[in-house]
């Protein structure tokens, strides 16, 4: 039973990471940070030099752009530009020419929205979502069953764990927190507020302990 629970937990963790990463790439705040990273790595989705307007040209000499918009496997996202006066192809941009990160971002978004593999994709995403909701529910249930009560008090957790953490690990944790906080501004602000509140609570507890000693 424990082995089965562990396997389910691992798969749900992977599912949660997948849903989070593929969703954050096109969200309002984290998406902007993600695009900044792609720009720095020269991995943004390329565009035709003549533009990407999918409508007929309104002015003489304006290239006519044709784009494929298939959102399922096999994915078709090629674009071409045509000279309206001669019909000659002036530019070609194929999905296979995209940077690898741009391809993965597109595939991740399509999988996240349930369009990449059709019905099977939608069923898988629904199962992932239900599984994550179940984990959240059982997590709160476990906490409620083990919560401190008058008849079953529990000592407070030992403070100062970070002081005993090896410096390399502490540095890695701080660096990861800074990176994640920059990518996710709301999370970063919440983490800063939590650290301030925790530091204040620790100061108050130490002062009370000195006063009673």
pLDDT (tens digit per residue) in 78-113: 888 888 778 888 889 999 888 988 888 888 889 888
**pLDDT of 123 higher than 90:** yes
**Which range has the worst mean pLDDT, 8-17, 91-100, 154-163, 179-188?**
154-163
Strands 79-82 vs 64-67: parallel, antiparallel or unpaired: antiparallel
Q: Give tens-digit pLDDT for 44-63.
A: 888 887 755 557 666 677 78
Interacting residues of 77 by C-beta distance below 8 A, sequence separation 6+: 67, 68, 69, 70, 95, 98, 106
The token pair that represents 191 in the structure block: 């983490």
Residue 178 located in a structural domain: yes
Do 84 and 52 fall within a single domain?
A: yes
| pLDDT value for 88 | 86
Helix (H, G, I), strand (E, B) or coil at 82: strand
The token pair that represents 49 in the structure block: 């030099």
Do 211 and 131 fall within a single domain?
A: no
| pLDDT value for 122 | 92
Residue 106 located in a structural domain: yes
Do 112 and 191 fall within a single domain?
A: no
The residue that leads in pLDDT, 53 or 144, is: 144
Q: What's the domain range around 39?
A: 1-44+100-145
Do 77 and 179 fall within a single domain?
A: no
Do 109 and 174 fall within a single domain?
A: no
| Distance, CA of 111 to CA of 71 (rounded, Å) | 9
Do 112 and 210 fall within a single domain?
A: no
pLDDT, the chain, mean:
81
Do 54 and 38 fall within a single domain?
A: no
Do 53 and 82 fall within a single domain?
A: yes
Residue 210 located in a structural domain: yes
The residue that leads in pLDDT, 157 or 7, is: 7
Interacting residues of 94 by C-beta distance below 8 A, sequence separation 6+: 78
Residue 173 located in a structural domain: yes
Residue 152 located in a structural domain: no
**Which range has the worst mean pLDDT, 8-12, 37-41, 78-82?**
8-12
Do 81 and 10 fall within a single domain?
A: no
Do 65 and 29 fall within a single domain?
A: no
**Which range has the worst mean pLDDT, 21-30, 43-52, 133-142?**
43-52
The residue that leads in pLDDT, 180 or 57, is: 180
| pLDDT value for 164 | 79
Residue 77 located in a structural domain: yes
Do 105 and 176 fall within a single domain?
A: no
Number of separate domains in the chain: 3
Residue 5 located in a structural domain: yes
Do 8 and 88 fall within a single domain?
A: no
The residue that leads in pLDDT, 153 or 74, is: 74
| pLDDT value for 57 | 64
Residue 82 located in a structural domain: yes
């Amino acid at each position: 039973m424990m082995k089965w629970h562990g396997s389910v937990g691992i798969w749900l963790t992977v599912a949660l990471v997948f849903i989070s990463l593929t969703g954050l790439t096109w969200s309002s705040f984290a998406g902007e940070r993600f695009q900044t990273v792609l720009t720095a790595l020269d991995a943004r989705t390329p565009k035709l030099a003549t533009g990407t307007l999918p409508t007929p040209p309104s002015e003489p000499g304006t290239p006519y752009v044709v784009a494929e918009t298939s959102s399922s496997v096999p994915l078709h996202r090629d674009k071409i530009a045509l000279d309206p006066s001669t019909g000659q192809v002036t530019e070609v941009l194929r999905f296979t020419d995209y940077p690898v990160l741009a391809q993965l971002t597109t595939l991740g978004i399509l999988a996240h929205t349930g369009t990449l593999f059709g019905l099977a994709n939608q069923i898988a995403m629904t199962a992932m979502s239900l599984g994550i909701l179940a984990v959240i529910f059982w997590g709160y249930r476990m906490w409620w069953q083990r919560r401190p009560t008058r008849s079953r008090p529990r000592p407070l957790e030992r403070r100062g764990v970070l002081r005993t953490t090896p410096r390399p690990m502490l540095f890695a944790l701080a660096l990861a927190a800074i990176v994640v906080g920059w990518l996710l501004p709301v999370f970063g602000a919440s983490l800063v507020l939590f650290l301030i509140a925790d530091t204040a609570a620790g100061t108050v507890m130490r002062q009370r302990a000195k006063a009673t000693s």
